Amino acid sequence: MVSREISRRDIVLIFLGATCFYAFSALFSPKSNPMIVKDPDSILAPDITMDLGVQGFPETSVVAHAPGWTLFRNLYMSGGTLLLLTSNSSQFPDHKFMTSTGLPGNLTNDAQRMPTPKEMAFITPNEAKMRWGRQTGISVHERNRVLTVEGLTHISHQVAQDYHFVAELMFGSWLFLSGAFHNQSAIPPTSAFEPSFNGPSLSTSVPFINRAIFIHSDVNGLRDAPGFNGYFLRAVFPSMTVEVSIDWIDRVNATTNTKIDRAWHFPLVLFTDRSAAFRSPICGAYTQRTAAEAWMLMAKAGKIDLIGNWWASIRDTLSRYAGSAPTDDPPSATLPDSQNIIITYINRQGTRRHLRDEDNLALVAAIEQMVERKNRQGTKKWEFNNVHAERITLDEQIRFAAKTTIMLGVHGNGLTHLVFMKPTRFSAVVEIFLPGGFARDYEWTSRSLGMTHYSIWNNESFTHPHEPVLPAYPEGFHGPNIPVQGQFVAKLIEDHVAAKEQAAPAPSLDNSPVYDKFGG
Ligand SMILES: *[C@@H]1O[C@H](CO)[C@@H](O)[C@H](O)[C@H]1NC(C)=O
Ligand SMILES: *[C@@H]1O[C@H](CO)[C@@H](O)[C@H](O)[C@H]1NC(C)=O
Ligand SMILES: *[C@@H]1O[C@H](CO)[C@@H](O)[C@H](O)[C@H]1NC(C)=O
Ligand SMILES: *[C@@H]1O[C@H](CO)[C@@H](O)[C@H](O)[C@H]1NC(C)=O
Ligand SMILES: *[C@@H]1O[C@H](CO)[C@@H](O)[C@H](O)[C@H]1NC(C)=O
C-alpha cells in the first residue's frame, strides 16, 4: 500500500518555505517590524470596578509581538474586522506581521494572503464612540453597545494543517505566553474555584486560557487522522472552550445583523497567524517554524530559558494524563544527568516514507547489539524500544516519549513526540533523511528544548552548525527506499552518550537555534 505521492501538507510546507525565502530580503526590515515585549506589570492591573458600558472604550495596546504572534490588550471586533482602538496608530507593528486573510499558504497566493482593512483596521476613540457609544439623549439606561469576552482568548488563523497543531501552534503559544507573563506571579493560573480532579495547576505564570477561537477552521479542520490534536487539547486544557468558524460567524452576525452597530471587546488576546510568521525570515527563510519567531523574541529578551523549563508544565500534564510519572525536579538552568539511556526508534515501516526493509532490520539489530553490550559493560541502564506508533495507543506513545533519552526515526510526523521527552544532558533526536534531503522542523524544535539533533544521510551525519541552510526534498524523499547504515547509527548514539558523559555545557544563546544567524 505504499504510495509515492507527496501529501498536501508536504506541498504546503515546500511552497511556504520557497515562497518566503524569495521574499526574504524585501521583508527583513526591523523598522517595519518592531519586536515588542513589555513589562508584565503593564499587562494586568485594570480597574475592574470600571463599568465600560457607561464609561467607555479602553485603548488597544500590544503587550508582546513577534511576527505571527501578538498579545493584545483591549482588542475589538465588529463585522469580522479586528479593530485596534487607538489615537496613535504609529505605535503598532505593520498589520502584515500580525495577520493575513487566513488563506492556507501556497506558492501562488502570497498577494491573496496580504491582510486588507477587512481583517484588521484602526479605529479612533471618537469613531468608536460614534459607532457603539450610548446615546444618553434616548434613555439613561442605554449602554455602550459592546460586549466583553472575558479572560484570555487565543484567536488563531490556523487552518487545516493538522500536523502543525501541537508541535508548532500549541508549542509556540505556550512559549510566547510564558515569555510575555514571565515572572508575573499575580495571575491566577486557573479559573477554578471549586475542588478539581485536574491535579496541580499547569503553570505559575501563564494565565488561564479561557478559550481558543479558530476563525478559519471548521469543526473538522484541526483534527488529524491519529486523533492526536484533540487528545492533546483535552488532556492539557480540559476547561478551555474551543470555537470554530461557525461560532465566529455567530459573533460577527451579532455585530451586524441589526441596523445598530455593535462590537466585541477582548480584554486580553493572543492572536496567531501562520502567514504573518512566514513573512519574517527567521520562520520564512530559515526554520519554516512559526514558533521560531516567538522563540527568538523571548529568548533574546531573557524571558524564557533555553532548555524548555517553560514547556515542562505542559509536558508533565500530558505525561500525568497518559499514566507516566511527572517530573519532580525543580526547574534548573542546566540539563539534568540521567542514569538511563532509553532509545526509542519511531519505526515508520508501516507508512509511506520509510527505510529500505533490509536497512531497517540491520538498524534494529545493530542498536539491539550495542544496547546489550552497553548493559554488560557500563553503569548506565540502556534500553531500546522499537515502536510502531500506529499500533499503540496515544497514551502509550506519550509514555514512550516521556521516558526517551534518544529518539530515532525517519523524518516524519512521529518525531513530533520529541516535545514530550524530558530533556537531560544526553537527550538527542536522530533523524534519518534520504541523502541530500533536509527539513528543519524537528531540528529546530529539538534544539529549542536544549537537546542535540543529528541528521543522518545513510553513513554520514551532521549536526548544527553544519546542517544545510535550506530545506531540500530530492526525488524519493517521501519514498519507501531510504537507505541507512545501522552500524553507523548505533555508533553515533554510543559516541554521543560518551561525549556527553565527559562534557555537557549548558546551552547558550550563541549556540541556540538560529540565534547565530538572526540574534544580533
Ligand atoms: C505615537 O507613537 C509613536 C511610537 O510609539 C511615538 O513615537 C509618538 O510620539 C506617538 N505620538 C503621539 C502623538 O503620542
Ligand atoms: C493557492 O491558493 C489559492 C487560494 O488562495 C488557490 O486559488 C490556488 O488554486 C492555490 N494554488 C495551488 C497550486 O494550490
Ligand atoms: C521575579 O520577581 C520577583 C519579585 O518581584 C523578583 O524578586 C525576582 O528577582 C524576579 N525574577 C526574575 C527572574 O526576574
Ligand atoms: C450570518 O449572517 C449572514 C448574513 O446576514 C447570514 O447569511 C448567515 O446565515 C448568518 N449565519 C449564521 C450562522 O447565523
Ligand atoms: C558511504 O557509503 C557510500 C555508498 O555506499 C560509500 O561510497 C562511501 O564511501 C561511504 N562513506 C563513508 C564515510 O563510509
With pLDDT > 90 as the criterion, what percentage of the chain qualifies?
A: 63
The whole-angstrom separation of Cα 56 and Cα 54 is: 6
Neighbours of 8 (CB within 10 A): 12
Side chain identity at 399, as an amino acid letter?
R
The model's pLDDT over 376-395, given as tens digits with 9 standing for 90+, comes to 998 899 999 999 998 999 99
CA of 92 to the centre of ligand 1 (A): 10
Contact 289, 440 (CB under 8 A): yes
Contacts of 452 (CB under 8 A, 6+ apart): 427, 428, 429, 446, 463, 496, 500
Evaluate the CA torsion angle 29, 33, 35, 39 in order and state its sign: positive
What pLDDT score does 161 carry? 64
Q: What is the pLDDT of residue 29?
A: 42
User: Where residue 201 falls among pLDDT bands split at 50, 70, 90?
Assistant: low
Kindly state the average pLDDT of the residues 75-91: 96
Query: Ligand 1 pocket, 90 CB below 6 A?
Result: yes
Collapsing DSSP states into helix, strand and coil, what is residue 365?
helix
How far does the centroid of ligand 2 lie from the alpha carbon of residue 102, in Å?
13
- How many Cα atoms within 13 Å fall on the side-chain side of residue 278? 27
The mean of the pLDDT values for the chain is 86
More confident residue, 195 or 302: 302
Closest residue CA from atom 14 of ligand 2 = 106
Pairing status of strand 428-432 against strand 452-457: parallel
Q: Which ligand is nearest to the CA of 185?
A: 3
- Ligand 4 pocket member 337 (CB < 6 A): no
pLDDT band (50, 70, 90) for residue 222: confident
Percent of the chain with pLDDT over 70: 85
The candidate with the shortest Cα–Cα distance to 39, out of 168, 187, 180, is: 180
> 253, 255, 256, 259: which to mutate for ligand 4, most atoms within 8 A of CB?
253
Please name which of 441, 495, 221, 481 lies closest in space to residue 359, comparing C-alpha atoms.
481
Closest ligand (CA of 460):
5
Identify the pLDDT of residue 510.
66
- All 3 cell numbers of residue 507? 546551552
> pTM value?
0.89
pLDDT of residue 190: 60
CA 485 to ligand 5 center in whole angstroms: 10
Ligand 2 atom 7, closest CA: 109
Tell me, in angstroms, the distance from the centre of ligand 5 to residue 457's CA.
10
Name which of 22-36, 133-147, 435-449, 488-502 the model is least confident about.
Answer: 22-36
Q: How far apart, in whole angstroms, are the C-alpha atoms of residue 324 and residue 418?
A: 16
Q: What is the three-state SS of 158-182?
A: CCCCHHHHHHHHHHHHHHHHHHHCC
Tell me: cis bond preceding 200? Omega within 30 of 0 counts. Answer: no
CA of 107 to the centre of ligand 2 (A): 8
Side-chain half-sphere CA neighbours of 267 within 13 A: 16
